[in-house]
A = this chain, B = another copy of it.
Amino acid sequence: MPDGLETLTRRLREFAAVRDWEQFHSPKNLSMALIAEAAELVEHFQWLTQAQSMQLDAGKQREVALELADILIYTVRCADRLDIDLLQATRDKIAINEQRYPVERVRGDARRATEYEPD
């Protein structure tokens, strides 16, 4: 059975091709579309407390799900246009993060990596 992300990649490539939209899908443009979708997600949460953002009603939950879908769509498209293996890059990044944020050092502390003073 093909992996979900691979199937998605091919389906989105086809979606763009039949609409002759590849011409618009430069990585530069796709990064703009991606951040515009990320902002629609942010907009849902901007006036909510953190607690409220955990407890969405069904309508809002559905809207948020579709915003996350839009973000994934442009992430997958951008990776595809640059011949990037998104799943592999993500595995690599998690391995980097495991090095950068050792459990015993960062437990319960979410400061950014650059804010950790060298020992």
Contact = CB atoms under 8 A, between A and B. Distances in A.
A47 B29 contact: yes
Quick one: copies of this chain in the complex? 4
Interface of A: prevailing SS = helix
A65 to B, nearest CB: 4
Contacts of A99: none
Question: How big is chain A's contact interface, by range?
Answer: 35 or more
B36 A39 contact: yes
Interface in A56-78: 56, 61, 64-66, 68-73, 75, 78
14 contacts: A4-B4, A11-B94, A20-B108, A28-B52, A28-B53, A32-B46, A33-B47, A35-B38, A38-B71, A39-B39, A47-B110, A47-B112, A72-B90, A73-B90
